[in-house]
Chain A
Amino acid sequence: DQQVKQNSPSLSVQEGRISILNCDYTNSMFDYFLWYKKYPAEGPTFLISISSIKDKNEDGRFTVFLNKSAKHLSLHIVPSQPGDSAVYFCAAPLSTGNQFYFGTGTSLTVIP
């Protein structure tokens, strides 16, 4: 039962261009969403989050967009840098925070 889905296993982008990573969810009870970045052999690192009361949150080169009607969120990275090459996971907790559900990840490669 995959409540958070990332349908693109991989993405390649040229340095300096925009990277767009997508995530869909099925549980309408989710009201908070997070993106994590993971390098090999390390734990995931929190990147950015968004509450369902907003449709956009920006932090430097990273912007997350939320479309509640479509149950869809996306992470935009602009400009993309080679150091951004990693696996990106979207996640959402149930409001009680008991469990955080993660997507299967998108592996981003930024080509110099």
Chain B
Amino acid sequence: DTGVSQNPRHKITKRGQNVTFRCDPISEHNRLYWYRQTLGQGPEFLTYFQNEAQLEKSRLLSDRFSAERPKGSFSTLEIQRTEQGDSAMYLCATLTGARNTIYFGEGSWLTVV
């Protein structure tokens, strides 16, 4: 148990619809990351938060993507007007205070049909 819970675990949506994923760290880790993974690739960085502040965004994060972390606890990742190319596993991770290691949640699978 990494202490990072993600919902929903699976989402099938029609192209053009909006989807939202939620990440709940059990304990309050200051840093929270969103990654995306497609088949045959490693996790790709999307964005990260230091508390409630979004400090860095990847160029992969187009204007259809928005992430928030109100109050520095849970985080949401919204994808608007989904495209088939958005089909992937979306991973949330937090950084422990003890060492420079990130721990991932179970991931949220998105399939855009």
Q: Are A93 and B56 in contact (CB under 8 A)?
A: no
| Residue numbers in A under 8 Å from B91 (CB-CB) | 43-44
Interface residues in B1-53 (C-beta closer than 8 Å to A): 2, 4, 6, 31, 33, 40-45, 48
Q: How far is the CA of A105 from the CA of B41 in the complex (A)?
A: 7
B95 proximity list for chain A (CB < 8 A) = 97
A29 is an interface residue with CB less than 8 A from chain B: no
Interface residues of A in 55-112 (CB under 8 A from B): 89, 91, 93, 97-105
Q: A41, B101: Cβ atoms under 8 Å?
A: no
What size tier do the contact residues of chain A reach? 20 to 34
Q: Chain B: which residue is nearest A41 at the CB level?
A: B109
Q: Choose from A43, A46, A89, A98 the contact partner of B101 (Cβ within 8 Å).
A: A46
CB distance from B3 to the nearest CB of A (A): 12
Quick one: closest A residue to B58, CB to CB?
A: A99
Whether B55 lies near A97 (C-beta < 8 A) is no
A42: B residues at CB distance < 8 A: 106-107
Q: Is A27 in contact with chain B by the CB < 8 A criterion?
A: no
A94 to chain B: closest residue by CB: B100
A43 touches B42 (CB 8 A): no
Contact B106 A104 (CB under 8 A): no
Seed contacts A91-B42, A93-B102, A101-B45; 5 additional CB < 8 Å A-B pairs: A43-B6, A43-B89, A44-B91, A97-B95, A103-B42
20 A-B pairs whose Cβ atoms sit less than 8 Å apart in the complex:
A34-B101, A41-B107, A42-B106, A43-B2, A43-B6, A43-B89, A43-B104, A44-B43, A46-B103, A89-B43, A91-B42, A91-B43, A93-B102, A97-B95, A98-B55, A100-B33, A100-B45, A101-B45, A104-B41, A105-B42
